[in-house]
Amino acid sequence: LLAGVVTTPAVAYLTKTGPFSAGLMISASHNPYHDNGLKVFAHDGLKLPDAEELHMERRIFQLLESISGLPAEESMTGEDQLADSYLDFLASAAPNGLAGLTVVLDCANGAAFRLAPALFRRLGARVVETACEPDGRNINEGCGALHVESLRERVLAEGADFGAAFDGDADRCILISRSGKVLDGDHILLLAGRDMRPRAVVATVMSNLGLERALAVEGIGLIRTAVGDRYVLEEMLKQKLPLGGEQSGHVIFREWSTAGDGILTALRAASIARACGATLDELTRGFHVYPQRLVNVRFREKKPLDQLAPVQQEIRETEREFGDAGRVLVRFSGTEPLARIMVEGPDPERVEFRARRIAAAIEAALS
């Protein structure tokens, strides 16, 4: 059954609630159009485990080598019905509506370009659309969750209550407050955590130390996982926690969804603000963002990091300098020949210095 142009979280929701064995999304996610790939969901609405996904990928390539073409098969289209079902579900996440609000939506010229504006208008908001004209090639091009500069300008120019930027398949959301403050996934986890009061929030190793400190003030713990929303959800299910996400804007409200859902995230943030009678600026006060520097080092030969003495020495010196006011994370990319370095600390100049020292040590050891 073809669902038409819908978002990745829509496919997850429809697969779980409908009579479907699996759901398949063709998407470039937050990347350029030529990086299209597949996201596969089981009937429970969860992404397939890594091992099953790898097995499926290998099997597809084997089939491609053994056949010259695929037979044409008829497929049914339930585009309008499926989209309406998903929008009805999303509307339930904003029971008090959005009447009186002005909202700027950046849909990244992607899958949310029809769904998000229609839903926000249905809930009573005045909607200003931007990057809602996909042509098949302009997805994520200078717009969306990775490029929020123009959205910020539009929010300020319109005097809007807030802006929301989705990525191409709308499983991410970055918000812009009325004052022009950029609110990433960490900010959203804080405002939602303050409202929901869970015993802990699940985030990844990339989430800012400021989130951990701000949640601690509220008596809420932070559990960190490897990078990837699937690992966040696995830990949420294991710990029976209702809220988790990534700094990049994947936020999972487990009561409503098994996947990061950008439109749902924007609705929940707006609903929380409306219920509290507060602005997004007010709801994220007390979040001190620690300077964070990310550096990528391309390598020729991969060696275990714990066997690189000069690298370990630089990491130890950084940890010694920053103490509990900083963090160091060094890992290999899972998809590219890159070592990824993240250094976080109280002073941006020292963070930059330490990140460069670690990068130079890795480059010397692996180049």
Residue with tokens 């964070």: 292
CA gap 338, 198 in Å, rounded = 36
Closest CA to 45 of 75, 5, 86: 86
∠ CA 10-16-20, rounded to 5°:
100
Which three-class secondary structure state does DSSP give residue 37? strand
Q: Is 263 in contact with 116 (CB distance < 8 Å)?
A: yes
Point out the catalytic residue in the list 29, 207, 248, 271: 29
CA gap 224, 212 in Å, rounded = 10
CA gap 51, 53 in Å, rounded = 5
Q: Is 248 in contact with 184 (CB distance < 8 Å)?
A: yes
Please state whether beta strands 221-225 and 200-204 pair in parallel, antiparallel, or not at all (unpaired): parallel
Residue with tokens 């609405």: 45
To the query of whether residue 248 is one of the catalytic residues in this protein, the response is no
The radius of gyration of the chain from alpha carbons, rounded to an integer in Å, stands at 21
Residue with tokens 């930027």: 165
Write down the number of H helices and E strands in the chain.
12, 14
Farthest CA pair distance, the chain: 64
Cite the active site residues. 29
